[in-house]
Structure 1
Amino acid sequence: MLMILKAALASMVLVVALSASAFAETTIMPLNSEIGLEKTITQFHAPSNNRLPWGFVEGKIANPVEGHPVIIQFFKNGEAVHFAQTDVNDDGSYEYRFRVVDVTNGKITKIFEGDYVVKIFKVVYLDKGSTSA
């Protein structure tokens, strides 16, 4: 039953994919000798004919530093248009849901439309074998 519900919910949202792929670029900037700020830059597109009300950013952090939320920033044409933060779950996963389209009294308001750059910031433990920034 839970899988059916998740499948139904997934069909009602737009997703910002955050897996390692050709569509995302990730860098790590060390903050000290143990932790760093991991920045992932990816794309989000909300088509003009979209009627799905929700979008979400989700991912999983292999080595999260406890007590540090994930920070998410949306940019359109180089200008910041939306900021958010979400907690990291015990298993390292995180999810942020946001409205893409609002329908109130039959009036449709497109909150997101077009192309966006999405920046996701996570505080992580550094890999002792890596010093890349």
Structure 2
Amino acid sequence: MNSKSSMLLIASMVAVFGIMTVPGEISADSNQVTVTPIDEKISLEETVTTMYVPKDNKLPWGTVRGEASDVVERYPIIIQFYKGEDPVHFAQVDAKGDGSYEYKFRVRNVDLETGEAINIFEGDYTVKIYKVIPNANDLI
């Protein structure tokens, strides 16, 4: 494995561990990274992880973050949330100049009529993150 692909693998793993909230009641545990070639120059990287939002969560926001990595410009990062097999929420964000990204989303809201707090996300979720990356291997 060359140093470029090692850095790419490390950056992808850091991105998965970046799924969190501030200060961090919501957790992300496991991950799986799959790279599928699109053509001789680019590939699609799929990262699958889990997210758990406790029933007694008090935080209003969650965040999906990815550390700086090698991404192909002009291709957005796609983030998908699933509860079991059911799609719950999809998002699209652009990578910053250094290849990092951040997506903030509501996990808790307040009903303006009743003042009651409503959990938008609660329990276990599968989170899939897709990004287009340059091929690390010239043979692909």
Aligned to 1:115: 124
Q: 1:10-41: per-residue Cα shift (whole Å, max 9, x none)?
A: 32x65665xxxx71100100000110000000
| Partner SS for 2:30 | coil
Aligned to 2:22: 10
Query: 8 Å contact 2:60–2:106 — kept in the other structure?
Result: yes
Name the % identity.
44
The answer to whether the Cα contact below 8 Å between 2:26 and 2:53 also exists between their aligned partners in 1 is: no
Stretches of structure 1 that go unaligned for 5 or more consecutive residues are 1-8
Q: 1:54 to 1:28 in 2, by over 3 A?
A: same
In terms of fraction of residues, the more strand-rich structure is: 1
Please give the TM-score of this superposition, normalised by the length of structure 1.
0.81
RMSD: 2.0
Deviation at 1:62, TM superposition (A): 2.0
- Deviation of the 1:130 alpha carbon: 7.0
- 1:77 matches 2:88: no
Q: Which moved more, 1:111-120 or 1:55-64?
A: 55-64
Residue 54 (structure 1) aligned to one of 46, 50, 61: 61
What stretches of structure 1 move > 3 A for 4+ residues in a row?
A: 13-17
Match of 2:16 in 1: none
Aligned residue number for residue 43 of structure 1: 50
Query: TM-score, with normalisation over the residues of structure 2?
Result: 0.77
How many residue pairs end up in the alignment? 118
